[in-house]
Amino acid sequence: MDKLAGMEMFVRVVNCGSFTAAADACGVSVTMVAKQIRAIEERLGARLLHRTTRRQQLTEVGQLYYDRCQRVLSEFSLAENSALELQSSPRGLVKMLAPISFGYQFLVPELSVYMSINPDVDVMLTLENRISSFSEGSYELAIQVGNINEPGIVARPLKSYRRIMAASPRYLSVHGIPKHPGELINHSCLGISYWLTPNRWDLIGPDNQLFKASVKGRFMSNQGNALRIAALNDCGIVLQPESILLGDILQGSLVHILPEWSYKSTPMYLTYQQDCRPSAKLRSLIDFLIERFGAE
């Protein structure tokens, strides 16, 4: 028999003053009420109530048990109400993971907007380029680049991660402007150190033509912004997301080279674990990010 239900019935009996009144209040039979109280007494090995034909009175053990039951039921009610409140309105902490460059360049400004709209939600953002498993339990929402193979994960498509090439006007004035990806081997190409093939750029050109360009260079980094700054300082040709380089290109600090070619599009997803009843904080942040970054 459910202990919590037994506690609730015992408190109801004491508050109502009799088994009959408690049975009427709960819509059950007197026999059922008596059975629940008897089960508690047998489990505890002590009598909780002195019962006579006219009235009932708590024993010493019964009084102690009654006081403790009230506290337990009060805490249980508080826990349920708190959980329901979390489900109904966005509040609490969201732990999130995102790629480094995309995270600080685009995600952080949008998260600032989200938090201004939802003052009861806090965000703990981890920026790293490795793909972690949700089973590690260190985050509940992630933006991930590349295919998602983890079971039990919802992957909502975001705008594709399109990478383009650029270099500074000074670098190009000294080394020339490449006219075809095959000429990249003669240039200093800024390497992405965490790639499995850092010395090869798989580029897509006109009519979806694929060209696997061999590249080399003297500078590599695992952070896109470091590569961008290196390009701004005439170190070579950078391959980074168009959204990261576009501002420098518009200002003339970088020149978009081989504009008909780009790195093969990489899918990007907003991922989270399947949950038939996600919390309000998670639902609201998912909806917000899909509105801002969702695939067209």
**Residues of the domain holding 95:** 89-296
Lookup: tokens for 56: 């009932």
| DSSP track, 134-174 | GGG-S-SEEEEES----TTEEEEEEEEEEEEEEE-HHHHHH
21 and 163 together in one domain: no
Inform me whether the pLDDT recorded for 101 exceeds 80.
no
169 and 52 together in one domain: no
**Confidence band of 1 (pLDDT split at 50, 70, 90):** very low
Taking residues 165-188, report their average pLDDT: 96
Whole-angstrom distance between the N-terminal and C-terminal Cα of the chain?
55
**Ramachandran assignment for 89, one of left (phi > 0), alpha (psi -120 to 50 degrees), beta (any other):** beta
172 and 57 together in one domain: no
Q: Which of 14-28, 165-179, 282-296 has the lowest mean pLDDT?
A: 14-28
- Give this prediction's pTM: 0.58
**Confidence band of 82 (pLDDT split at 50, 70, 90):** low
**Confidence band of 53 (pLDDT split at 50, 70, 90):** low
Say which DSSP state 190 is in.
P
**Confidence band of 150 (pLDDT split at 50, 70, 90):** confident
- pLDDT recorded at residue 3: 83
194 and 176 together in one domain: yes
**Confidence band of 74 (pLDDT split at 50, 70, 90):** confident
Inform me whether the pLDDT recorded for 174 exceeds 90.
yes
The C-alpha atoms of residue 270 and residue 224 are separated, in whole angstroms, by 20
43 and 106 together in one domain: no
